[in-house]
A and B are shown apart, each in its own frame.
Chain A
């Protein structure tokens, strides 16, 4: 059952991310990206990471994609549908895909092998120790990672100020 659900959502993930890249209309790309985020959240929930799955849906599909759609709505993007010349050449895309994919797989496999993680990885049921994943994450986040958490707020402040500066009308 778990495997079946995983394969279903994995296939939805891959197809929708291909749609993001290959659709010409950016609105369609954004919609398929939302589908991708939802199925990714489902995979997180299958992996017993409920908090991350919910954050995925709330933050990515809720906030970030609304921002994307707003910008697409505000800007007139009809004139930029022409693709690069080599994008029309299917062979170069497939070759590029194979090369990057094999490079990633090779590097990950070698590093896993060197770390001795190739075998003996059996998931522990630590998620049920605290009887909720969110509670466990909260405990780790507010004890061990307290300083990075506070620095995160600084990062968001810097981002907000940066947007104000960038969006300000220049009246010089």
Chain B
């Protein structure tokens, strides 16, 4: 049996890498991929807890998270396509209309 702490550690590492990607990358598509990484790490800790508490609810939540992630990716990529139409670039620094 794998200790719970190892799984949580892996989940935390993956989440941190995702946060780094969102913070430091400029390419909007890669930022979206990093968001997927973060969602996945949250899923991993859900499954780990569901395994160790002997409870199936965590896995059902993972199912819902996957549905939300699919919807979010579709909408986000449509927004990226619109952004490319407007700016001719997908750099996150070009979308600075709301910047103070």
How far is it, in angstroms, between the C-alpha of A27 and the C-alpha of B77 when the chains are bound?
15
Query: Which listed residue (A20, A63, A137) contacts B59, Cβ 8 A?
Result: A137
Are B9 and A105 in contact (CB-based, < 8 A)? yes
Query: Which listed residue (A52, A101, A133) contacts B13, Cβ 8 A?
Result: A101
Instruction: Knowing A20-B33, A49-B50, A167-B81 are in contact, say whether A68-B24 is a contact too (CB < 8 A).
Output: no
Interface size on B, residues (CB 8 A): 69
CB nearest to B71 among chain A residues:
A159
Are A21 and B60 in contact (CB-based, < 8 A)? no
Are A97 and B16 in contact (CB-based, < 8 A)? yes
How far is it, in angstroms, between the C-alpha of A155 and the C-alpha of B51 when the chains are bound?
28
| Residues of A close to B79: CB separation below 8 A | 166
CB nearest to A153 among chain B residues:
B67
Are B14 and A13 in contact (CB-based, < 8 A)? yes
Are B51 and A47 in contact (CB-based, < 8 A)? yes
Are B62 and A108 in contact (CB-based, < 8 A)? no
Q: Write out, one digit per residue, whether chain B residues 70-100 have a CB within 8 A of any chain A CB (1) or not (0).
A: 1111110111111010000111010000000
Are A137 and B63 in contact (CB-based, < 8 A)? yes
A115-153 CB contacts (< 8 Å) to partner B = 121-124, 126, 133, 136-137, 140-141, 144-145, 148, 152
Residues of B within 8 A of A (CB): 1-2, 4, 6-10, 12-21, 23-27, 29-30, 32-34, 36-37, 40, 43-44, 47-48, 50-57, 59-60, 62-64, 66-75, 77-82, 84, 89-91, 93
Q: A44-B44, A47-B2, A75-B84 are in contact. List 4 more A-B contacts (CB 8 A).
A: A60-B36, A82-B26, A96-B23, A159-B75
